Structure 1
Amino acid sequence: MTPLTDDLRATLYDAENVWAEDDDFFLALANEHPVSRVLDLGCGTGRLTTALAAAGHIVMGVDPDEGAVTAARLKPHAEDVDWVLGTSSALDSGARFDLVLMTAHVVQAIADPGEWRRTLADLHRVLVPGGRLAFDSRDPAARAWERWNPQESHGMTELDDGTRVEGWYEVTAVTDGVVTLDEHAVLPDGTHDVQTGELAFRDEDRLRGDLRREGFTVDHVFGGWHREPVGRGDGELVVVAHR
């Protein structure tokens, strides 16, 4: 297996993940309070982060993937974002935010229970009293991982230069609510990249309990991007809480 370069992986990510209803939801949430101090934790290549800056918010984007942050710095309005390479542990002790966002199911990538608790504690620390935390996580009841197989997940993505990339997912284990999967990408020259990851599937009760233990009050849990009840939306758990 031949790994993709960081630049190509970021380009592929942006081609596969374009602006969608989830971005509309989180941007609208931020815009309920103009000129907010917003932390985009797990900002990736900065699609939403730069849109928040363009909307006039004071924005910090944090992500541990150096290639993704490098790509984010090249986007329009990136100069208006404070970019930090790292996780929530990299946040300055004096940092304060009115809103923290964790989008694109980034909370599921925090699969280790200890790291998840530390992340929530870090976010509680940097939010002002009454400050909000919002994130999305796939509802385990929808069993999305059952469709992550080479047949149902197979697809082709065309990059801006015309390169066509073949891709698919393959689940290798499901253990105690954690799904281990391989993400495959194959270029026309035969380059075959495989990224292995773990995603934690936490149900609504678990998320509510985890947030409560770290001092948060849950305001809403929606099942989709139009604020549907859980189980009647898009197979999502869209959580809005406050400190």
Structure 2
Amino acid sequence: MPDHAFTDARLAALYDTLNPWGPGDDFYLDLVRGAGAVLDVGCGTGALLVRAREEGHRGRLCGLDPAAGMLAVARRRADVEWVEGTLGSAARLEGPFDLVVMTGHAFQVWVDDAEIRTSLAAVRGLLAPGGRFAFETRNPAARAWAGWTPARAVEVDGVRVAHEVVAGFDGRTVTFDTTFSAAGWAGAEVSRSTLRFLSEGELDGFLGGAGLVAGARYGGFDRSPLTASSPEIVSVCRVAD
């Protein structure tokens, strides 16, 4: 089930302000520009595909997301295909696609091994010959969750947004709450999230099991080499030979 922050229309409307366009978006947009048919898994508010269409992309652009609140924002653009669901449930989703992307650390919401395997198999089945699958995950060695504290709360459009870890890293996952509060609201809104953190070796094991291989791997969206201290593990994958 999608997090409350994504299903609630009031909270979903804050997403793009909380997550303004940045280097990651530029990285993926560059890939989208060079692809004909594109699927954005976990597309959220659809900012990537909307920008591509605004730039003149003429191919098929399809956004897939299980959260109705996010898709309500995305559907402001009628010339992009929006599908509510997951890779395992979206029966109406038909390939092939030249590029499948997962941005915004969406890959990390696949918590269980079985869900990762099933989803990656679905990605493999949707790829056209020569197609690519690009995504990023947070490098567990960088311990990003250490900064998810109420002391680092931010205020956006009069709404205070704070994170707090409720179950620390156990070698697989981190669970944290995001609390939204504002003057005039009846009470705070709390959204609980659990994310999976995978090492490079673990990622390659799951990819290999689905018949995929990382053709390029970076430690950041600047395409810097992946090191032990890199904040990200950015993978651009192809079908294994």
Per the normalisation by structure 2, the TM-score is 0.90
Letter in 1 for 2:153: H
2:80 alignment partner in structure 1:
81
Post-superposition CA distance 1:146-166 (Å, at most 9, x none): 111111x311112xxxxx111
Distance in 2 between the 1:94 and 1:71 partners? 23
Contact 1:145 1:179 in 2 (8 A): yes
Instruction: State the partner residue of 1:161.
Output: none
Corresponding residue of 1:206: 202
Give 2:82's aligned amino acid.
W
Tell me, in whole angstroms, the C-alpha distance in 2 between the residues paired with 1:233 and 1:10: 32
- Supply the distance in 2 between the matched residues of 1:81 and 1:168 (Cα, whole angstroms): 33
CA contact (8 A) 1:225 1:233 kept: no
Give the residue type in structure 1 aligned to 2:194.
Answer: E
Q: Within 5 A, what are the aligned runs for 1:97-116?
A: 97-116=97-116
In the alignment, the residues of structure 2 paired with residue 201 and residue 91 of structure 1 have an alpha-carbon distance, to the nearest angstrom, of: 29
User: Quick one: structure 1 residues 79 and 233, their matched pair in 2 at CA, closer, same or farther if it must change by over 3 Å?
Assistant: farther
Instruction: Report the equivalent of 1:134.
Output: 134
* Deviation string, structure 1 residues 90-136 (Cα, Å, up to 9, x no partner): 15474210000000000001112211111100000010122100001
The alignment partner of 2:178 has SS state of strand
- What is residue 179 of structure 1 aligned with on the other side? 174
CA distance in 2, matches of 1:50, 1:40: 11
For residues 217 and 112 of structure 1, the distance between their equivalents in structure 2, rounded to whole angstroms, comes to 20
Q: Helix, strand or coil for the counterpart of 2:132? A: strand
Post-superposition offset of 1:232 = 7.7
* Residue 217 (structure 1) shift: 1.9
Q: Kindly tell me: are residues 235 and 132 of structure 1, through their superposed partners in 2, closer, same or farther at Cα, counting changes over 3 Å?
A: same
**Segment of structure 1 superposing worse, 38-47 or 111-120:** 111-120
SS of structure 2 residue aligned to 1:95: coil
1:205 shift after superposition = 1.0
Q: Which runs of 4+ in 1 moved over 6 A?
A: none
SS in 2 for 1:224: coil
Q: CA RMSD in A?
A: 1.8
Equivalent residues in 2 for 1:217-236, closer than 5 Å: 217-231=213-227, 235-236=231-232
Q: Indicate how the Cα distance of structure 1 residues 20 and 12 shifts in structure 2: closer, same or farther if over 3 A, else same.
A: same
Contact 2:214–2:237 under 8 Å retained in 1: yes
Taking the aligned partners of 2:21 and 2:181, their CA distance within structure 1 comes to 24
| Pair 1:13–1:234, CA change in 2 (3 A) | farther
Aligned residues: 230
Q: 1:84 to 1:117 in 2, by over 3 A?
A: same
Distance change (3 Å), C-alpha of 1:232 and 1:19: farther
Query: Matched residues, percent identical?
Result: 37
Kindly provide the amino acid, as one letter, of the partner of residue 159 in structure 2.
Answer: V
Corresponding residue for residue 154 of structure 1:
153
Q: TM-score, normalised by structure 1?
A: 0.89
Aligned to 2:123: 123
Local SS of the residue matching 2:108: helix
> What is the letter of the counterpart of residue 233 of structure 2?
L
1:192 aligns with 2:185: no
Output the CA distance in 1 between the equivalents of 2:53 and 2:192.
32
Query: 1:132, 1:237 → 2: CA distance?
Result: 16
Shift of 1:223: 0.5
5+ unaligned residues in a row in structure 2: which ranges?
none
Work out the CA distance in 1 between the residues paired with 2:155 and 2:112: 32
Q: Residue 60 and residue 85 in structure 1: after superposition, are their counterparts in 2 closer, same or farther (change >3 A)?
A: same
Cα deviations across residues 171-228 of structure 1 (Å, max 9, x unaligned)?
Answer: 1113231001101111112430100010000011111111111101211110011100
Structure 1 unaligned blocks of 5 or more? 159-163
For residues 116 and 232 of structure 1, do their structure 2 counterparts lie closer, same or farther at Cα, with a shift above 3 Å needed? closer
Q: 1:61 to 1:91 in 2, by over 3 A?
A: farther
